[in-house]
Structure formats: C-alpha cells, structure tokens
Amino acid sequence: MDTQPTPDQPWDRTVLCTTCGVEHDPDALPGTCAICADDRQWVPADGQRWTTVGALRAGGARVQPAPLEPGLWALPVSGGAGIGQHAKLLTTPAGNLLVDVPAHIDRAAVEAVAGLGGLAGIIASHPHMYGVQSDWSEAFDGVPVYVSAPDAAWLARRPGNLALWSGTIEPLPGVTASQPGGHFPGSVVVHYTAEDGRGVLLAGDTVGVARDRAWTTFMRSFPNYLPLSGRVALRIADHLDRYDYDRLYDNFTGCITAEARAVVHRSAQRHADWAEGRCDHLT
C-alpha cells in the first residue's frame, strides 16, 4: 500500500483499490479487489494495489467541479485513482443529489459542494461508480447512500446510512431513479427536468455515448470490449421510454445534446442488428 501522509481528515485513512477507485473496508481487504477481478474490469498485470485518500491527496489528487449546464455539475478527479469517471452533481430547489461518486475527497471539494448547496443524497449508477461514497455521505451529515439491491453484494464497504432499493425511487422531488439493468443487473439511470424544461437522463454506463456523439452503445464491459446482447439493448431503450428526455449524459464526458431518446432507439436497433447477425453481409 502507498505510503501514508499525516492525516488531514478522517477520510484520509480510507482505503481504495488503485485500479477501480472503489472504497474498501481496511479491516477486511481481500487479496484481489472483487470488482476488478470481474470480467467487466481488470486486475493489472503487476497485481493488486491499494492506496488511500490521504496518499492520493499527498500526490496531488483533487476534485475539480465544472459546470455542464444550469443545475448540473461534473466532479472529475485529477491525479487520482480509478477509471476517471465524471460524477454528476444535480442541484435542485429541494436539495442536491450526487449521481456517481468521485474516487477522492478533500476539504476543498467538500467546501465547493457545500457552496453549491451541499448534498441531500448520493446514488451510484453501478458498483464501478461507488468511489468513496461513505466519506461523501459522512462529510454531509450522513445523507442517504442509495444502492441498488441487486448489486449490494459488490459493496466492499457499507455506508453508515445505506438505503437499499429496487424498482423506482424519487430521491428528491422531481428526480426519478430506476433500474434498467444491463451493464449490471441493478444498473441505474436518473431522470429530471432541467431549467429549460427539457428532460435530462444521467445514464451512467447503462448507455454509453459513442465518440461521434450521434450514437450510443450498450456494453457489459467497456474496457474488455464485451457487448450486451441485442435483446438487452432493445430492452434498455424500451425501459427508458418511460421518460421524456432530450439530453443524455454518461458517467464520463459523453453527452447527447438533443433528441437523445431517438438516438438511443436507433442505436439500440443498430446494436441488435450487428449482434444478431443481420449485418454479417458487410463483414
């Protein structure tokens, strides 16, 4: 494990996997991070490594809030551990929701989020996005950490205010979360209506935005290039039809800026056509 600096806050002692950036119980560290040993992730060729929030802070890691649109911020981490997700902070008149969680926390980040109205709750789209969710919860008076019940076995550290759920919930008035599954059985999307009156979907890894931003994709593993079946891609698109959404953000920098619902449907059909062999004549 990386060398420990002088603690700055209690969270400095939090242990996380260097590869995925997910928090772990320091008194029950496995030989290998279970999330990384799964076929959706990877264990580095040189083996399992652990680090701490304090070691990352001493190495220069920091959270850098960045506005995406009115009412929505990204919380990317520079110089940290993990896979580089851009957590999203949704700010509403009824409180703020952290959707996906940075794999880092420090006083400056907490103060920045407090300046935006603090947190009323935390929800990760799937286990790769748990980050240091326990610490973010504790930094804001133990706000609830909503975790999909189908994925609860992946928790390597249980938040003090853990709220297991299935189906559909409304963590804040006007904000809805549901579980279309796919990437994980309990994979989550979050929907709300933005200040301009248009629907926005925070899709995590359930729907990945392609590089040309005109298409989306549906993957069991992004780094290991393992696609979901055509049937599941179409199921996800149909599940999302319950929402009126014009924009879609994934859990990195991907964004469909207009007509996202139509983009998801045509992408799901294209995915199914290729996965089920209807485009084999092009190969």
Q: What is the DSSP string of 123-182?
A: E-SSGGG-TTHHHHHHHTTS--EEEEGGGGGG-SS--TTEEEE-SEEEEETTEEEE---S
Q: Which domain holds residue 113?
A: 10-43+63-278
Residue 5 located in a structural domain: no
Closest by Cα among 83, 80, 112 to 100: 83
18, 83 contact by CB (below 8 A): no
Q: Quick one: pLDDT at residue 3?
A: 45
189: left (phi over 0), alpha (psi -120 to 50) or beta: beta
Q: Quick one: pLDDT at residue 206?
A: 98
Residue 58 located in a structural domain: no
Measured distance CA(144)–CA(130) in Å, rounded: 13
Taking residues 87-113, report their average pLDDT: 97
Measured distance CA(43)–CA(115) in Å, rounded: 37
Q: Quick one: pLDDT at residue 7?
A: 57
Q: Quick one: pLDDT at residue 133?
A: 98
Largest CA distance in the chain: 62
Select the more confidently predicted residue: 189 or 7.
189
Q: Quick one: pLDDT at residue 241?
A: 98
Tell me the residue length of the chain. Answer: 283
Q: Quick one: pLDDT at residue 9?
A: 86
Closest by Cα among 180, 186, 179, 138 to 162: 138
Residue 1 located in a structural domain: no
Structure confidence by residue, pLDDT tens digits, 202-259: 999 999 999 999 999 999 999 999 999 999 999 999 999 999 999 999 999 999 999 9
Taking residues 168-191, report their average pLDDT: 98
Residue 233 located in a structural domain: yes
Residue 51 located in a structural domain: no
Q: What CATH number corresponds to the domain at position 35?
A: 3.60.15.10
Measured distance CA(182)–CA(203) in Å, rounded: 12
Backbone angles phi and psi of 151, in degrees to 5: -110, 10
Residue 1 has pLDDT above 90, yes or no: no
Taking residues 269-281, report their average pLDDT: 98
What are the distances in angstroms from CA 56 to CA 1, 23, 123? Answer: 12, 13, 23
Residue 31 located in a structural domain: yes
Domain count for the chain: 1
Structure confidence by residue, pLDDT tens digits, 58-75: 999 999 999 999 999 999
Residue type, 210: A
What percent of the chain has pLDDT above 70?
A: 97
Structure confidence by residue, pLDDT tens digits, 116-174: 999 999 999 999 999 999 999 999 999 999 999 999 999 999 999 999 999 999 999 99
Tokens of 115: 């300046």
Secondary structure of residue 197 in the 3-state scheme: coil
